Amino acid sequence: MTENKPLDKDALDQILWRHISSLPYFRGFLRAVEDRFLQEIPISGPWLDLGSGDGHFASVAFDRQPEIGLDPWVAPTLEARTRKAYRMLVLGEGARIPVEDASFNTVTSISVLEHIPEIDPVIAEVARVLRPGGQFVFCVPNHRFPELLWGRQALNTLGLKGLGAAYGRFFNRIARHAHTDSPAIWQERLTAAGLELERTWDYFPPQALHVLEWGHPLGIPALASKKLFGRWVLAPTRWNLAIPWALTRKTMDDPRSEQGVCSYFIARRPA
């Protein structure tokens, strides 16, 4: 990802397929949209990926290895090692990145920051390890995510707004979201850390969120497959995934939305 890549139909098909053929479709759907945008962003090294997890996203989305993948969890990091998606994996906290100042031209963090309760020290560390002019590319669910869930809207329509709000909190809890904040709040955090917001956009419209939402209970067989066979998708074939494909493919063409429940950011350390 060293230069902008125009994405035609075949490229979008490939991006979606590489995610939903190896993950539960609701998770793969969102990862594919995030991957789609990342392909359009020039990435220059040295490169730190903050929140490397099990390495799946890096193994299918990155066209070259980041210099470092950082994650605080042992089991996912051990799984990431098997995928060989990073030059080096480091077990560590985002608030204490074990590198010198100004070590990286790029830091990426794809759907990670929303899971970190104490987020301000992490953003401050990102600012510290970026070189002058370096970019911080990240994406997170925003304030609309719990508000526009189908279950919450249905309960609200029935006049059960208290239950609707509880449903939103429940969904955030099972998604392990510590933050679902507006872009304005993220901009304040970036500014406080000395980073300048260069560009942001909202994506993943409410209809896509509902497809993701419905996929959670439908993902139970995928969980069983993972535990029994070590694979989320036991039969990654077109016929087996025809329905998930039909539900998700159209969103890939134009996932930006003024009502999008997620936000992408490109921030930069001043030169």
The answer to whether residue 3 scores a pLDDT higher than 50 is: no
Assess if residue 97 is contained within a domain.
Answer: yes
The answer to whether residue 133 scores a pLDDT higher than 50 is: yes
Assess if residue 4 is contained within a domain.
Answer: no
The answer to whether residue 196 scores a pLDDT higher than 60 is: yes
User: 22-26, 50-54, 266-270: which has the minimum mean pLDDT?
Assistant: 22-26
The predicted pLDDT at position 217 comes to 75
Residue 134 shares a structural domain with residue 201? yes
How many structural domains does the chain have? 2
Q: E strands along 35-171, which residues?
A: 47-50, 68-71, 89-91, 104-110, 130-141
Residue 107 shares a structural domain with residue 160? no
Q: What domain range includes position 150? A: 146-178
Residue 115 shares a structural domain with residue 137? yes
Residue 170 shares a structural domain with residue 88? no
pTM of the model: 0.93
The answer to whether residue 4 scores a pLDDT higher than 70 is: no
Residue 48 shares a structural domain with residue 168? no
**3-class SS string, 51-80:** CCCCCHHHHHHCCCCCCEEEECCHHHHHHH
Last residue of a domain, one of 133, 159, 178: 178
Looking at residues 85-104, what average pLDDT do you find?
A: 97
Residue 168 shares a structural domain with residue 55? no
The predicted pLDDT at position 230 comes to 78
Cβ partners under 8 Å of residue 153, min gap 6:
164
Residue 168 shares a structural domain with residue 244? no
Tokens of 183: 């872009």
The answer to whether residue 6 scores a pLDDT higher than 90 is: no
Residue 202 shares a structural domain with residue 168? no
Cβ partners under 8 Å of residue 167, min gap 6:
149, 151, 152, 155
Residue 212 shares a structural domain with residue 169? no
Assess if residue 75 is contained within a domain.
Answer: yes
The tens digit of pLDDT for each residue in 110-132 reads 999 999 999 999 999 999 999 99
Looking at residues 138-152, what average pLDDT do you find?
A: 97
Residue 130 shares a structural domain with residue 189? yes
Assess if residue 1 is contained within a domain.
Answer: no
Assess if residue 134 is contained within a domain.
Answer: yes
Residue 263 shares a structural domain with residue 200? yes
Q: Which amino acid is residue 156, in one-letter code?
A: N
The tens digit of pLDDT for each residue in 212-226 reads 999 877 677 776 777
